Structure 1
Amino acid sequence: MQSLIQKYNVPGPRYTSYPTVPFWDEATFNEAAWVSHLQRAVSVTNSTTGLSLYIHLPYCESLCTFCGCNKRITRNHGVEIPYIDAVLAEWKLYCDVLPERPRIAELHLGGGTPSFFAPEQLRGLLAGIFERATPTESPDYGWEGHPNNTTREHLQVLYDYGFRRVSFGVQDYDPTVQRAIHRLQPFENVQQVTYWAQEIGYTSISHDIVFGLPFQTPESITDTFHKTLTLWPDRIAFYSYAHVPWIKGNGQRGFQDADLPTGDQKRLLYETGRNLLEGAGYVEIGMDHFALPHDTLYKALQNGTLHRNFMGYTTTQTRVLIGLGASSIGDVWSAFAQNEKELDAYLNRVQAGELPLLRGHVLDDRDQFLRRQILNIMCQGKTRWPVERWSESEWAELSARLETFQLDGLLKYDASGLRVYPEGRLFLRNICMAFDARLNRAQPQTRLFSQTV
């Protein structure tokens, strides 16, 4: 296994979309095209599955040096109302062009730190959203809370609006690791917010844990999981740390590269955590996720409805995802659109009455076919395709890439499909890269992605 890690530990996408953002063809995209694709998708799916809504809340009070998310660091809470006003103004711009009143099946508040915002501001945000929309019969709403500033009132306000999922960022409980990543939070804070969520009635509580952080050891990750398992969260997201210090403003130079575990050491950290989770009854789902058998994520895996989009793994297969807020990304299957990433640019565009679109991509037929194969692999660990969809040269290139994985015992494939073996789960990103025509054609010379292992 060590030799496989050395072989496959290369930069690669996480495949929350295909094509991935660096390979979008912006020449085919404009606001009119995006609105047209959006309207067509909503007219087809709104009355059946409903749509998904992601709201990016970018503010944080302090910088976590492991984080590559789009955020603005401030202790000035005067920014809350203007930002929420902008998000609601953007939502109105969308509702004005939709063919009918939207039905929201899936809603997620991400960040940044959603719990940076006061409970009354979140209440106002949601009241404004649902003034123009209707929940579906069985919605799936979730949000991300910071254990250090989430209050019981935060949890109650969002519960009252139908939220039943909450995830808390744990990362690691070891004090040395916490100091290195500037994320100081005692176990007692996580314990408190978890108990509050359970008492209020949240049915899916998740803890986010990261492996591959500076100074992390098998002993520290074991201690983190022993503490975590005393709280019995319904889900655990066990992420590989994405070291991308070249991204502007991500703050990932708070430690030295030499402080990070090597590829083999990261593998040991992952195996240590996975073994503890599986021993406690958690089931590995797709990539990075574990859930107890009663959780809806596990049930989605079993019934074949597990989905993956810019929000990560979801249990709801909607074809429409509208992203609100700075840097948010929308997805209507046949097109993507991303908002302005710079916060001031986002606010200015919305205040001018414009959809704050920065870039996007319209998927052609080939994109959509490849997207389906990658989505199947990421969600089900298998995929099938019509043999005639590949030209002779395309199949020769793809089969040569897949043969390498088959010889390494990671998957089995034939002319009409493939299945990933359990040994191949760690390398899902690599396997999907075999199908990534735009990545393989471009052969980028600069680093765009984090390491796959």
Structure 2
Amino acid sequence: METSIVQKYNVPGPRYTSYPTVPYWDNGNFSEQIWKESAIRSFKESNAKEGISLYIHLPFCESMCTFCGCNKRITKRHETEIPYINAILKEWAMYRSLFKTRPLIKELHLGGGTPTFFSPENLKKLINGIFELAIAAPGYEFSFEGHPNNTTREHLQVLYNLGFRRVSFGVQDYDETVQKAINRIQPYSNVANVTLMAREIGYTSISHDLVFGLPFQTIETMVDTIEKTKALEPDRIAFYSYAHTPWMKGNGQRGYDENNLPKDEEKRRLYEIGKMILNKEGYHELGMDHFALKSDSLYQSYQQGSMHRNFMGYSSSKTQLMIGLGVSAISDSWYGFAQNEKNLEDYYMRIEDNELPVYRGHVLTAEDLIIRKHILNLMCNFETSWCNENEFLPDLLEIVLSLEEMKNDELIEFSKDHIKVTEKGKPYVRNICMAFDLRMRRKLPNTQLFSMVI
């Protein structure tokens, strides 16, 4: 990649799992009651046709991974499992009371934290509790995140018996120096064991999460990690850029010096070399930072133009309503967003008071809905158009003019009503989306909110 282009566009920017992004939510127009009305409206419009998505945040981890920016609670006390599950089931019962018919769950994802911190028996209690008040929709997809060091055959079998067919294992990197820096020590043999067990049990989509840009990574260590990964032939690979945000409260990104991190074009080269090897092995790049074999449902949905992106990442199907359960979880009704309390004790207190534990959110305006559609198109399909009246914005001329430099740099091609991201421009899709992000352009922050784009 051209060094000058990398340096020009390597700026802080959102990952666009939503629009507007969380720092630009208008919390002044939000309340628990407004969120309930939005969720009810979305449920009535969509449940019978497509079902809903459910994200359950399980925050507990036994140790701190210093690369992680997720909401988590570090503890070795497993007696925390039952009280937390009871709180989630009570929160779900509150949502269920809003809906007149049984929810059809199309997608269910267990994220964290470390979902496999919980015992298989307690995960079974959680999922059975969810389905006392719901039923699985036709063509459902249930998935969970597993830690290679503590995911047992019993975890895999119990969740498989409950309908789970997709599992994602956090690998990050196989180099011992990198693992020590990020406090994530897990040998290749552990990853190989859980991958083979999942395949033997019958999981149809096994994903490995890798991260580039971690401290002490080099071309040699990245090639070694990719080679080891392809030897296990996961169906999907998420190849994420490390988001360095040490100023964010609660993350542990202080275990190494910034000088230990690959910089700009060096970091991007890690991705390009990894991508080259993966492409050679039959993995296809989908959206941003994701790869899949042709046999995987994510690749098939990409080919059909039905791939979706939300707070759970990329998905092979879309539902209008996504409910997030658990501390810090985010819900999306398409018309609005709501985030749960980020502090565990505050979350418990709200649940005990029989309140939905949402503490901030955003109601989307007509302009927000149009921009959201364009950003989703770019993130999922690398193109968008505004030939219809409901895709047009009054500020469109300003947006197109702001993209002129990217056009000159051959990152995009556009006609009067269409933009397409070029192959050269795919690494900069976040920059292209930022041109459409009118809320960010109108209200630039005084402090850095986001990680670097490259």
Range class of TM-score, shorter chain: over 0.9
Letter in 1 for 2:164: F
Q: Which residue matches 2:264?
A: 263
Task: Tell me how far 1:387 sits from its aligned partner.
Answer: 7.2
Q: Which residue matches 1:439?
A: 440
Q: Which residue matches 1:179?
A: 180
Alignment of 1:379-418 (within 5 A): 379-386=380-387, 389-391=392-394, 394-418=395-419
Letter in 1 for 2:80: V
Q: Distance in 2 between matches of 1:329 and 1:437?
A: 22
Alignment of 1:43-192 (within 5 A): 43-192=44-193
Q: Distance in 2 between matches of 1:419 and 1:90?
A: 42
String of CA shifts for 1:355-389, please: whole Å, max 9, x gaps.
00110000010000000000000000000114762
Q: Distance in 1 between matches of 2:101 and 2:405?
A: 49
The alignment-based identity, stated in percent, is: 57
Task: Tell me how far 1:348 sits from its aligned partner.
Answer: 1.0
TM score, norm. by length of structure 1: 0.99
String of CA shifts for 1:254-303, please: whole Å, max 9, x gaps.
00000000011111100110001000000000001000000000000001
String of CA shifts for 1:20-46, please: whole Å, max 9, x gaps.
000000111111111111111111111
Alignment of 1:246-395 (within 5 A): 246-386=247-387, 389-391=392-394, 394-395=395-396
Q: Distance in 2 between matches of 1:207 and 1:187?
A: 12
SS at match of 1:139: strand
- Worse-superposed segment, 178-187 or 28-37: 28-37
Letter in 2 for 1:97: L
Unaligned runs of 5+ residues in structure 2 are: none
Letter in 1 for 2:442: R
Q: Which residue matches 1:237?
A: 238
Q: Distance in 2 between matches of 1:405 and 1:35?
A: 41
**Are the equivalent residues in 1 in contact too, given 2:55–2:110 (CA < 8 A)?**
yes
Change beyond 3 A, Cα 1:387–1:416: farther
**Are the equivalent residues in 2 in contact too, given 1:387–1:415 (CA < 8 A)?**
no
Q: Distance in 2 between matches of 1:137 and 1:189?
A: 34
Task: Tell me how far 1:99 sits from its aligned partner.
Answer: 2.7
Q: Which residue matches 1:195?
A: 196
Task: Tell me how far 1:150 sits from its aligned partner.
Answer: 0.3
**Are the equivalent residues in 1 in contact too, given 2:148–2:170 (CA < 8 A)?**
yes
Task: Tell me how far 1:240 sits from its aligned partner.
Answer: 0.2
Q: Distance in 1 between matches of 2:266 and 2:193?
A: 32
Q: Distance in 2 between matches of 1:233 and 1:48?
A: 32
**Are the equivalent residues in 2 in contact too, given 1:156–1:200 (CA < 8 A)?**
yes
Q: Distance in 1 between matches of 2:385 and 2:136?
A: 34
Unaligned runs of 5+ residues in structure 1 are: none
Q: Distance in 2 between matches of 1:146 and 1:46?
A: 32
SS at match of 2:249: coil
TM score, norm. by length of structure 2: 0.98
Letter in 2 for 1:318: T
SS at match of 1:47: helix
**Are the equivalent residues in 1 in contact too, given 2:47–2:103 (CA < 8 A)?**
yes
Task: Tell me how far 1:200 sits from its aligned partner.
Answer: 0.4
Task: Tell me how far 1:397 sits from its aligned partner.
Answer: 1.9
SS at match of 1:423: coil
String of CA shifts for 1:213-271, please: whole Å, max 9, x gaps.
00000100100111111110000000000000000120100000000000111111001
Letter in 1 for 2:316: T
SS at match of 1:434: helix
**Are the equivalent residues in 2 in contact too, given 1:402–1:413 (CA < 8 A)?**
no
